[in-house]
Amino acid sequence: MLPMHGHRSSVILLILLATGALHCGEDSADPGVTGGSAGSGGGGGGTAGGGGNAGGGGSGGSGGQGGQLIAGETVVIPAGGVSARWAYEDAYDNVANGAWYRESNNETATLAWGEGYVMMSLAAMFRATGSPLYLERLSWHIDGVLAQRDDQRGVFDYRNVSGACWQNKHYQPSDEPYCYVVHSGMIAYPMAEFARLVATSGLAAEPVGNGSTFGDKATAYTAAAEATVAYHDDQWNDAGYYLFRPDATFLSYPGVDLPLNQSNTMGRLLFALHDVTGKAAYLDKATKLAQRLLAQISTGPAGEALWNYWGGSYSSPGEDISHGAINVDFAIMAFNRGAVFTAAHLERFAQTFMERIYVDDQTLSDAIGGGTTNGSSYRPQIGRWLRLTKVRTAVYSAVRDLYELDYPASAIGSGSLLHSWAYLAEHEPIWCEHYFYVADWDDPDPQNDGDWREATAYGANILTVPPSYDAPCVIPLQIDAPRATEAQQWDGTAYHTETRWQPTGGPTTRFIPYEPRWPFDYDGNGGVLFQFADAFVQNDGVRVKESSGITLPAIESQPPATGVVGTPLGYTATGNGDEPSWWGLRELPIGARIDHASGAVDWTPPAAGDYLFTVVLQNNWGRDEQSFIVQVP
């Protein structure tokens, strides 16, 4: 039987929509953040927790009759798999029980290249899940970082100025204290992103401790980020770049324009500040930075984008992939705001990844133009290219395969790797099930190894039915490849290489991406065709494990209809479906939380009224929703 994907519907959800009871929030997702340089680097408390995919739905619920509907909150819980969310949770407590570097100063760039990534990771996890947990954690980290700012520490730079920045001594010959633009961008961008996420999610009224709300924090963090931008105003050139301070003669390049990535880190901050404040000056500067970046990019023979660390005419192999990730991230932010970069430009960046950087599941070029491979300073940073998943699903599968193999979340101790796992969570597509083109496969040992099939010829095929031809998905394949193997997708005319694997040395898991750019119904049942290309040897073909079937999530518990002021609600949602699963709240009263593992709702009614909840259960294959109203007399 061909695999089926679907979603459930909820009568009460339709009733609530019809009566206008649902409050629709804006999408809080934004394709990304990343960083690296003035040296480049890598690199936190709370409980795990909430969800998104293949078509929404709902499983029953209860509704209130009469009573005043108390205004609550609505967040976006995106579609996608959930496996990388739990991987992130495995990693979060790895350093200082989740504190990471929040209590460090930046004199050795620890905040810029360590804590900056940790903060970005928490913003990405909120975009992935819609869970207030990640804004709580992010606020805690930001508060620690703000306490380390020069004007809070009472320390002074080389000009005897104590400003809204984080001084560094590590890169200067005699430890002269200097605040780098790139460091300010890395550290302050997550502050503006916090404010943007609070504004777009509608969570401003959420309490965050000490009588403060997310809205209060957003206001304070916006002011702090604006002060940091203002500290560097005298380094701005209206041609579209920042300068090293001319009087900082101890630097190697006083008065010279910054490398592209260093200006672009500030560009991300400027875009986010414009989102929050609406001030035209921020958008004007960010747009000019984007125009200058685009002007430095050449086009290679395969349509790929090529550029240098400092701009100018392209010289092979060009920018390294760590600093280059910042450029790409900034360009995607510009595209998302309709500034300078177009979809065609993003295609060129994706071509850079696929044609110049990605070699196979264990090999990456150190630079955007190719050349040397697997440098220890570069290979781990490839996760910061994951925003390109929206352009090519194969970017996701390439990074996921590498990270599962060499950078498992439970073992990492780097802020940049934590950020990359957050990006894997944010951009994880829904999973799709495979089945066999039976003529190409044999079952050589049905008694002892009956759930594995072996290819009988070169180009053996499998198929999948994507939940939607228009959306990406990934096939989690258990495979044993005795030789180097490519997985290729058929478009009706030709095959396109999506992944390249070295010999696996035995059974392992690899991801095959479905690319929506090549939809083709091969078998009349919606099946998209893939082939395995290798140097085939008879009786030693690629082995693939059969799918054991999938179970979509389904919420089975009956929600409460009433509550009592001052008494905990006491509802734990339960359901069925393949693990791992993830519980979330898409609609919630102020202050309500759900345990993302157990489904336990934590909320005590503060006053009489009707309160709307929408509980979401997700797994890697789909989602279910349950909307209900709790009446509190």
In this prediction the pTM is: 0.90
Q: Which residues lie closer than 8 Å to 49 by C-beta, 6 or more apart?
A: 129, 131, 133, 582, 583, 584, 593, 594, 595, 596, 597
- Could you tell me whether strands 485-490 and 528-533 are parallel, antiparallel, or unpaired per DSSP bridges? antiparallel
Report residue 544: phi and psi, to 5°.
-130, 135
Give the pLDDT band of residue 350 (cuts 50, 70, 90): very high
Instruction: Identify the pLDDT of residue 60.
Output: 45
The predicted model gives 74-103 an average pLDDT of 97
> Do 243 and 182 touch, CB atoms closer than 8 A?
no
* pLDDT tens-digit map of 316-339: 999 999 999 999 999 999 999 999
The predicted model gives 507-527 an average pLDDT of 98
* pLDDT tens-digit map of 194-209: 999 999 999 999 999 8
Q: CA dihedral defined by 577, 617, 89, 480, rounded to 10 degrees?
A: 30
Instruction: Identify the pLDDT of residue 45.
Output: 34
Instruction: Identify the pLDDT of residue 67.
Output: 66
Tell whether the model's pLDDT for residue 389 goes beyond 50. yes
In DSSP terms, which residues pair with 555 in a beta bridge? 575
Nearest alpha-carbon partner for 473 in 59, 50, 3, 33:
3
Nearest-angstrom CA–CA distance, 456 and 31: 42
Instruction: Identify the pLDDT of residue 448.
Output: 72
- How high does pLDDT run on average in the chain? 91
* pLDDT tens-digit map of 538-554: 999 999 999 999 999 99
Higher-pLDDT residue of 36, 365: 365
Beta-carbon neighbour count of residue 618 at 10 Å? 32
Q: How far is CA 228 from the centre of its chain?
A: 26
Nearest-angstrom CA–CA distance, 318 and 253: 20
The predicted model gives 492-509 an average pLDDT of 98
Cis, peptide link before residue 560, omega less than 30° from 0:
no
Higher-pLDDT residue of 81, 8: 81
Nearest-angstrom CA–CA distance, 292 and 261: 12
Of the given ranges (370-384, 439-453, 565-579), which has the lowest mean pLDDT?
A: 439-453
Nearest-angstrom CA–CA distance, 150 and 166: 6
Q: Is 51 left (phi over 0), alpha (psi -120 to 50) or beta?
A: beta
Instruction: Identify the pLDDT of residue 28.
Output: 41
- Could you tell me whether strands 473-480 and 430-431 are parallel, antiparallel, or unpaired per DSSP bridges? parallel
Tell whether the model's pLDDT for residue 35 goes beyond 70. no
Nearest-angstrom CA–CA distance, 387 and 383: 9
C-alpha distances (whole Å) from 423 to each of 15, 30, 32, 426 are 36, 11, 8, 5
Domain annotation for the chain: domains and CATH numbers: 11-430 (1.50.10.20), 434-545 (2.60.120)
Of the given ranges (17-31, 51-65, 94-108), which has the lowest mean pLDDT?
A: 17-31
> Do 516 and 471 touch, CB atoms closer than 8 A?
yes
The predicted model gives 479-483 an average pLDDT of 98
Nearest alpha-carbon partner for 625 in 5, 11, 3:
11
List % helix, strand, coil for the chain (3-state, nearest 5). 35, 20, 45
Instruction: Identify the pLDDT of residue 39.
Output: 34
Output DSSP code: residue 108.
Answer: T
Nearest alpha-carbon partner for 416 in 329, 517, 297, 304:
329
* pLDDT tens-digit map of 258-280: 999 999 999 999 999 999 999 99
The predicted model gives 178-201 an average pLDDT of 98
Tell whether the model's pLDDT for residue 55 goes beyond 60. no
> Do 467 and 81 touch, CB atoms closer than 8 A?
no
Here the tokens at position 590 are 């102020």
Of the given ranges (14-23, 136-145, 515-524, 536-545), which has the lowest mean pLDDT?
A: 14-23
Q: Please name the helix (run of DSSP H) or strand (run of DSSP E) that holds residue 558, with its range, or none.
A: none
Tell whether the model's pLDDT for residue 6 goes beyond 80. no
Tell whether the model's pLDDT for residue 479 goes beyond 90. yes
Nearest alpha-carbon partner for 543 in 510, 571, 575:
510
Give the pLDDT band of residue 66 (cuts 50, 70, 90): low
Nearest-angstrom CA–CA distance, 254 and 359: 39
* pLDDT tens-digit map of 416-457: 999 999 999 999 999 999 999 999 999 877 777 779 999 999
* pLDDT tens-digit map of 289-308: 999 999 999 999 999 999 99
Helical axes 260-277 vs 214-231, angle rounded to 10° = 140
Nearest-angstrom CA–CA distance, 601 and 583: 10
Tell whether the model's pLDDT for residue 284 goes beyond 90. yes
